[in-house]
Structure 1
Amino acid sequence: MTSTSDSGVPACAVLTHVFQHPFLEEDSTPSTAEQRRLRTALTARATEACMACPYFEDCLDLAVTKHDVSGFVAATTSRQRAQMRNMLRVEVTADDMDALIGVIASGRQIATRDVVALRRAHPDESLDFIAQRLGCSLSTVKRHLRRARAAAASETETPRRRTPEEPDRGRLITAFESVTGMRRRAEAAA
């Protein structure tokens, strides 16, 4: 069972022990020879599954042109996908996970404007003070302050030119082959 299960589920959804292993989920560096062998075996198994998958091109397209995902996706690492984006002149902004983070016990979500307003009202207090006042974590306060600084900086910057159209599948596969050194077999793509 390489490409899909009998129910049409992609192999990556079935082979969770491979695709969700820490060596493939993160760009971690194995420290022992045994760990290097394990990562090599996991990468080979995941690559085999991806290359035979009927959803390969769709998955690659989503991971390169639409979402900045981490881990091993479409037979590529995060670094390889970044190289492909550079080659294709594609810019993908990271998904806004703040919408899912920072909800306090009452169920109310912490807003950046609340953090900034409290910081302005109490400039000499610690960030921990702000976190306690809002009932959230220190990391949530820091995340919102970084977001506010980035928004302020982007208002003063000249807007970057975005690619008007996404690359076609042919250019995407060419970039994949160039970066990974792998060839997409015609029979696997069919």
Structure 2
Amino acid sequence: MPETRKGPHVTSTSDSRVPACAVLTHVFQHPFMEEDATPTNAEQRRLRAALTTRATDTCMACPFFEDCLDMAVTKHDVSGFVAATTSRQRAQMRNLLRVEVTADDMDALIGVIASGRQIATRDVVALRRAHPDESLDFIAQRLGCSLSTVKRHLRRARAAAASEADASRRHSPEGPSRGRLITAFESVTGMRRGTEAAA
């Protein structure tokens, strides 16, 4: 059995290196970090602030930070807190960089439920429009699918709408340079690598 050593930011084994976010699932996959839930009282707001601080510190010290940021901004429309950024911040960065990310074709993976029926994007969007104040978990329960399925379909719907609205914008195959990516990150978040968020 390989030796395992855990540090604050990376888990090392004799076989591989794993980013800390993969180990700190109680932080990175918490509903407040996945943007699925909104704090409703002071205690929950303090919890979200503590989770955000822990996740941000972990990301900023991670040796995989730049690769993770590049993937989350220029390659894939992911949800939740990734590379010390929220979904909204990554959208702002894409606008600055003039980058368009097309949703991955997940048809083969999305939404086959126990009955064997596949969930359609239009079903998810229709329920979201009919119940705008309900959580995404509510929609998942109504459709009998997972929360991640709902998120994927909503991402696909947003990407399709953005593509129709801005067909003239083109994503350069090579993408922005790392320097431009980091500059956009710093502009949007007010952070520099190894420092805290600006007040």
Match of 1:96 in 2: 105
Alignment counterpart, residue 9 of structure 2, candidates 3, 17, 21: 3
In terms of mean alpha carbon deviation, does 96-105 or 26-35 score higher?
96-105
Question: CA separation of 1:163/1:45 partners in 2, compared to 1, >3 Å: closer, same or farther?
Answer: same
Shift of 1:5: 1.1
Percent identity for Structure 1 against Structure 2: 76
In the alignment, which residue of structure 2 is the partner of 1:163? 171
Instruction: Count residues with an aligned counterpart.
Output: 153
Aligned partner of 1:29 in structure 2 is: 38
- Secondary structure of residue in 2 paired with 1:5: strand
**Where do 5+ consecutive residues of structure 2 fail to align?**
1-6, 122-142, 146-152
Higher strand share: 2
Once the two structures are superposed, residues 64-86 of structure 1 have per-residue CA deviations (whole angstroms, 9 ceiling, x without a partner) of 00000000000000000000000
Query: Aligned AA for 1:23?
Result: F
Task: Provide the C-alpha distance between the structure 2 equivalents of 1:163 and 1:87, rounded to a whole number of angstroms.
Answer: 13
Larger radius of gyration: 1
Residue 60 of structure 2 is aligned to residue 54 of structure 1: no
TM-score after normalising by structure 1: 0.68
Matches of 2:187 and 2:106, distance apart in 1: 31
Q: What is the TM-score when the length of structure 2 is the normalising length?
A: 0.65
Larger relative contact order (CA 8 Å, sep ≥ 6): 1
SS in 2 for 1:12: helix
Change (3 A) 1:173 1:31: same
Deviation at 1:105, TM superposition (A): 6.8
Alpha-carbon distance between aligned partners in 2 of 1:100 and 1:183, rounded to the nearest angstrom: 37
Relative to structure 1, the CA distance from residue 185 to residue 98 in structure 2 (aligned partners, 3 Å threshold; closer, same or farther) is: same
Distance apart, 1:104 and its partner CA: 7.0
Change in CA separation of 1:87 and 1:110 when aligned onto 2, cut-off 3 Å: closer
Contact residue 19 and residue 46 of structure 1 kept, 8 A: yes
Aligned to 1:123: none
2:93 corresponding residue in structure 1: 84
- Cα 1:38–1:100 change in 2 (3 A) is same
Provide the alpha-carbon RMSD of the alignment.
Answer: 3.4
1:64-118 CA deviation, whole Å, 9 max, x = no partner? 0000000000000000000000000000012223222354779797999xxxxxx
Matched position secondary structure for 1:6? strand
Seen in structure 2, the aligned counterparts of structure 1 residues 109 and 60 have a Cα distance that, compared at 3 Å, is same
- Determine which structure has the larger helix proportion and give its number: 1
Runs of 4+ aligned residues of structure 1 deviating over 3 Å after TM superposition are 102-112
Tell me the amino acid that sits aligned with residue 170 of structure 1.
Answer: G
Q: 1:95 to 1:42 in 2, by over 3 A?
A: same
Alignment match, 1:75: 84
Q: Distance in 1 between matches of 2:176 and 2:35?
A: 27
Pair 1:106–1:70, CA change in 2 (3 A) = closer
The answer (yes or no) to whether the contact 1:66–1:92 under 8 Å persists in 2 is yes
Partner of 1:64: 73
Map 1:115-126 to 2 at 5 A: none
Deviation at 1:9, TM superposition (A): 1.1
Structure 1: segments with no counterpart, 5+ residues = 113-136
**Which shows bigger deviation, 48-57 or 90-99?**
90-99
